[in-house]
Amino acid sequence: MGISTSMNAGVSGLNANGNKLSTIADNIANSETYGYKRSDMDFSSMTVSAGGSSGVVGGGRAALAGGVSTNAIWNIAAKGALEGTSNSTDIAVSGRGMLPVTSLASYQANADDLDLMLTTTGSFHTDKDGYLTTSSGIVLLGWPADTEGNILPAARDTTASLEPVKINLSSVSAVPTENINMYANLPATDTGPDGTGTARTMTLEYFDSLGSAQNLTVSYTPTVADPQSNEWTMEIVDEKSGNSVGTYTITFSDATATAGQVASVVQVDGGAGAYTTSYDTSTGQLTMELNGQTIMVAIGSDSGGPQYLSQLSSSFSSKGVTHDGSPAGTYQGVTIDENGFIKASYSSGFSKVLYQVPLADVANLDGLSVLDNQCFAVSAASGSLYLWEPGDGPTGTVEGFALELSTTDIATELTDMIRTQRAYSSNAKIIQTVDEMLQETTNLKR
């Protein structure tokens, strides 16, 4: 029993160290593979029941050495250093998050069943159809944007809202502006007894029917009074012609529940000729007719809904203007920022958000299943998936013009190789010794 057990232990030692050498070889082979996570081989002892009673109190049974078993361990949570590149769609993650991807071939075969995979980096390029893919056929996934570049609402614990990132590589026709959101805050103190009557101005950009960028100048002149009037005269002027589009008297609420919100809008002058305007209290929108082009300008109202124009503090703040529409142009390139927004740029100088790439997280990164092409899959050991916006939560940010290096350290692997070789030789010596002992036993009958 003892000799045969020794033989089995030696054989298991050879197998275990052979497996260990295999992982070392794989690590070294992938030392220049971007996104590769080094693996290790975990050794566990085995025992064989001796069949007899041991001297252990409680009647425990004796056990003999049974050799060693191995189990591969992938250090997926380990992060490699980031290396800068010249390709805007070389993407890496600065943090624990992972990029959602899928196989382009499997997606094209069955678009309704998204085979989600995760990776920490990838060198992506647009293919002939516009998909953002790697040379191995891995396509990047993201949340799509609407026509205004706003990311559509998406569930965070499912892949249902994810789509393969696909860029329109052809020329883009001009799209006239139809909607403008006018964000601004007017200083309440300007309408009080200490006000100076100074007008505040901001610019609204829009695209006309030919795709040309045009501007409207909006001025707000306070009505100075004692007590405070909360009243402003708003005039919209077409910069190109210098003509007035419309003039309104806007009064803001001072009620506790709706303080600072638009309370009423009274049209003073609706423009003339090619310019007409009207205001809808229920929607909080101005409807403007500019040379046959209809544009809805959202300013808000106290009847509910989003608030755009406000009177909340003592300082003027032109908080920004958003609008739809775009000029004509040809595709020039695509970039991705730290928040995961993928933007396409065109020859007209116009850029547009097309997608946002979320970062995936699981409770146990090392529990992910290992796939080809530096990809991983969610498993029972990893825990369920959750999608975060880059920069929000524990997942970190997205880095364009960067790739993650392999986590293999050559010095460590070569050191482990020497130790493994010695262990392998020692186990081979055990087998040789057992063989000699068995030979001695055989010789006893001579």
The encoded tokens of residue 106 equal 């499997």
User: What CA–CA distance (Å, rounded) separates 341 from 323?
Assistant: 18
Distances (CA, A) of 169 to 87, 97, 220, 235, 340: 17, 29, 43, 41, 20
> What does the pLDDT read at residue 32?
96
CA distances from 373 to 101, 163, 342 (A): 11, 20, 23
Neighbouring residues of 96: CB distance < 8 A, sequence distance ≥ 6: 77, 79, 361, 365, 394, 395, 396
Nearest to 377 by CA among 76, 121, 83: 76
Q: State how far the Cα of 175 lies from the Cα of 165, in Å rounded to an integer.
A: 22
Query: What is the pLDDT, as a whole number, of residue 267?
Result: 86
Chunk the chain into consecutive blocks of 10 residues (it has 446) and report each block's average pLDDT, rounded to whole numbers: 78 92 96 96 82 49 76 94 96 97 90 90 95 96 90 90 91 86 92 92 91 92 94 93 90 88 86 76 88 90 83 83 86 94 89 95 96 96 96 95 97 96 92 87 77
User: How many residues does this entry show for the chain?
Assistant: 446
Where do the domains of the chain lie?
Answer: 2-52+62-75+407-443, 82-172+329-404, 179-323
Structure confidence at residue 50 (pLDDT) = 63
Q: Residue 429: which residues within 8 A CB-CB, separation 6 or more?
A: none
What pLDDT was estimated at residue 55? 46
Q: Which candidate, 406, 404, 385, 405, places its Cα nearest to that of 395?
A: 385
pLDDT value of position 62: 60
The pLDDT assigned to 63 comes to 65
Question: 179-323 is classed in which CATH architecture?
Answer: Sandwich (2.60)
The pLDDT, as a whole number, for residue 174 is: 84
